[in-house]
Amino acid sequence: MKRLTSILIALALTTGCGDQPPKVEKPPLVRTLLVAETGTNADDVYSGTVRGRYETNMSFQVGGRIINRAVDVGSLVSLGDTLMSLDAADLNQQVNQAEAQISSAEAQLNLARRNFDRYRQLYSENAIPAATLDRYRAEYDAAEAALDNAQAAARQSYNALSYTQLIAEADGIISAINAEEGQVVAAGQSVLTLVQTGELEVEINVPENKLPILGESAVITFWASTLESRAEVREIAPMADAASRTYRVRLTLDNPPSTIQLGMTASASFRSNAVEGISIPLTAIDQSEELPRVWIVDENQTVRTRNVDVRQFDGNQAVVDGIKRGELIVTAGVNKLREGQQVRVNSTSET
C-alpha cells in the first residue's frame, strides 16, 4: 500500500512539472551609438596664459651696493627708464685716477716729443750719432703708446661708471625683483625680470598624442574679455615636461586686444588636422578576430559584424572607415555578441 502511494505522488509531481511553459531567454541589453557626423575635424581647445615673448633677467655689469630701486613688481616701464642704481663712489675714484693717468701720459708725451725734435735737429747737423736719435725716437713712441693705454683705461672707467645705472632696454613690465636697497650684488647677478610688452604670446601645454594633429594657427579667447585674436604657433618644446608629460607650445598673438594684460587666462582653439573618417569609441571595436570589426544593429534589432579600417587613434576614440552616418553600432560588450543575435537597445547617443 505504501508503495502504491509513492508511485501516485511521483506521477502527480511529474504531471505538474510538464504543465510549466519553457523559459525564454531575454535578448541582452546593449549600449549603442548613432553615427551622426563624418570627419574628426573638431576643435581642440587648450587653456593657457598670456606671456611676453621676451623675458629678460636683468643684472648689473659691475658689482656694488644697491642704493636705489625705482620700480616694484608690476611697474610699467619705458625704454630708457632707470630701474636700479649702485653706489658709484669707488668707480668715481677710478675715473679720477684714470684722468690723472691721462694727464701724466700727456706730459710724458710732450717731453718725449720735444726731446725727439731737439735731437733730430742735432742729428741733421751731424752733432750726434744715429743711435742717440733712435733712443729718443723710441722714448717718443713709448710715451705715445702710454697715452693710448691711459685713454683706453679711462674709457673703461667711464663705462663702468655708467653701468651703475640699470636702464630699461625696452617697454615692458617688471615681473620679479630679486634684490633690495642696501644689498651688495655681484656683476651678472640677476636683480629683476623685465617682460617686454611689445609682443605678447599665449603659452599652452599639449598632450603628446595631439602634437601630430596640432594646427599651425589658433583662435585665442580670453576669460577676462569678450574679444578674440588669432595666433600662430611659434615654438614647440623639443621635450615633454617630466611631470605632466605635455609639450609647451608658444603662440604669437596677432593684433591682441589692448585690454589684454600679462598673466591673463586664455584659451587656444585649434581646428584639428585629423584624417577624415568616422570617430567612434575604442570600446566599439571588436578585435577578437584577425581584422577589427564593429557590430551593427539593424532595424530588427539584430546584430551583424562589419570589418572596419582603423585609420587613426585619438585618445579614447578611433577614426575608422567602413561605417556610414545614421548606422547604429554597439559600444559595450562587443566580445560577447554573436552573428544574428537579437538584442535590446538602450537610448542611443550620437558621435
3-state SS track over 8-28: HHHHHHHHHHHCCCCCCCCCC
Mean pLDDT for the chain?
86
Query: Contact, 321 vs 278, CB < 8 A?
Result: yes
pLDDT of 280 strictly over 70: yes
pTM, to two decimals: 0.56
**Predicted pLDDT at 346:** 73
Count the Cβ atoms, other than its own, within 10 Å of residue 142: 13
CA-based radius of gyration for the chain:
43
Q: In 225-254, which positions are buried (b, 16+ CB within 10 angstroms) versus exposed (e)?
A: beeebebebeeeeeebeeeeebbbbbbbbe
Categorize the per-residue pLDDT at 322 as very low, low, confident or very high, splitting at 50, 70 and 90: confident
| Residue with the three cell numbers 615681473 | 175
Query: Contact, 62 vs 187, CB < 8 A?
Result: yes
Q: What is the pLDDT of residues 140-167, one digit of tens each?
A: 999 999 999 999 999 999 999 999 999 9
**CA 25, chain centre distance (Å):** 58
Mean pLDDT of 51-77: 92
Query: Contact, 297 vs 251, CB < 8 A?
Result: no
| Cross-strand pairs, 202 | 50, 251
**Predicted pLDDT at 259:** 84
Query: Contact, 98 vs 150, CB < 8 A?
Result: yes
Pairing of strands 349-350, 32-34: parallel
Task: Give the residue among 80, 83, 86 at the shortest CA–CA distance from 69.
Answer: 83
| Cross-strand pairs, 184 | 65
CA dihedral 142, 145, 151, 156 (to 10 degrees): -120
Categorize the per-residue pLDDT at 37 as very low, low, confident or very high, splitting at 50, 70 and 90: low
**Predicted pLDDT at 29:** 86
Which amino acid type is present at position 100?
A
Q: What is the pLDDT of residues 282-307, one digit of tens each?
A: 888 888 888 889 999 988 889 899 99
Q: What are phi and psi of 174, to 5 degrees?
A: -80, 120
Count the Cβ atoms, other than its own, within 10 Å of residue 48: 23
Mean pLDDT of 323-330: 87
CA dihedral 196, 201, 207, 211 (to 10 degrees): -120
